[in-house]
Amino acid sequence: MIDRKCKVTLGGLPQKIHVKGDETKPVLLFLHGGPGVCNRHTVMTVHADLQKEFLVVAWDQRGSGGSYRGAAVETLTIDRLVDDAHELVLWLCREYGRKKVYLLGGSWGSELGTWLAYRYPEHIAAFVGFGQVVNGAKNEELSYQFALDEAQKAGDEKSIAVLKRVGPPVMGVYKGGFDGMMAQRRVMMKYGGYSQSKKKRSYFRSMVIPMLCSGEYSIPDLIGVAKGYRYVLTAMWPAVGATDFPSTCTKFQVPYFVFDGVLDQNTPAALVQDYFDLIQAPKKELIWFEQSGHNPMTDEPERFKSLLRDRLQALEKEEPTV
């Protein structure tokens, strides 16, 4: 059993990873969301049972968590993070004697994983995305409209005023930048667009408390978490908002899976089917989670993990990565 926290230099910057699990099993690299939302506790503590079937790797991406220090703002680009991820994949293959690794990416992690699988397929065994990003501008238009419609139905004048003050996003970007986006997200979450089970919880209760209670992060890591979220998202969001996968990324050389929540209004589920239909891949599958929002790994954890194990272990029988 491996349980190793260390820093790996990627793109010239030391970045923190945690590797944990059975060293004889396939490597599963978890790509967190945001960008800048470091949540390695998700696969290290909340879903630690995955470590029985996989050697799980959680990575604090450039500018977040344990990788916050030294991340210059000009390096916070999609291209640089994709190249960081590629360098990490190569390091994992060398360090643990693997041919390929599996990718699991949620929200922004689904965008990062899609680009990685598209550009550097040689050492990728398969990609699994959830909270799947499709088109940044349309994503925010739909998410904003959902929040406004729900607030109007509820007669929630306070939330309506907040949304009208922020205004509809332009090319995925809100007036006020980070603060405008967070204002929209709070209303969207309030009405269940993130998760039905979390709609009455604040962001702090649903996101921050589990992180603090996990024991996964050192004090410097937590400082990086707190500072990195605004720092990275502010730098990268205009580029993320300009993402348009249907016109850029449809042909893959690796198996491509999407596990998506029907109720997702954060990266709206309404965009996923049309994009999925365009995808060409050796194997592809779209699995819907009827009771889930943005994160089916949290909303329907047992079904999510059962399907993840089933699909990746079936691929492993066809072409072992170890």
- Domains along the chain? 2-135+219-318 (3.40.50.1820), 138-198 (no CATH)
Q: Which pLDDT tens digit goes with each residue over 178-203?
A: 999 999 999 999 999 999 876 555 55
Q: How confident is the model at residue 208 (pLDDT cuts 50, 70, 90)?
A: low
pLDDT digits (tens, 9 = 90+) for 124-159: 999 999 999 999 999 999 999 999 999 999 999 999
What is the structure's pLDDT at 211?
74
DSSP string, 160-216: HHHHHHH-S-BTTB-TTTHHHHHHHHHHHHHTTSS-GGGTTS-HIIIIIHHHHHS--
* Helix, strand, coil fractions of the chain, as percent rounded to 5: 50, 20, 30
pLDDT at 118 over 90: yes
Cα 135 to Cα 177, 236, 239, 270, 271, distances in angstroms: 18, 15, 11, 11, 8
pLDDT confidence tier of residue 96, bands split at 50, 70 and 90: very high
Q: C-alpha distances in angstroms, 170 versus 136, 141, 144?
A: 10, 8, 11
Per-residue pLDDT tens over the stretch 55-74: 999 999 999 999 999 999 99
Q: Is the pLDDT higher at 160 or at 206?
A: 160
Q: Please answer whether residues 106 and 93 qualify as being in contact, where contact means their C-beta atoms are separated by less than 8 angstroms.
A: no
**Which pLDDT band, with edges at 50, 70 and 90, does 317 fall under?**
very high
Does 38 score more than 80 pLDDT? yes
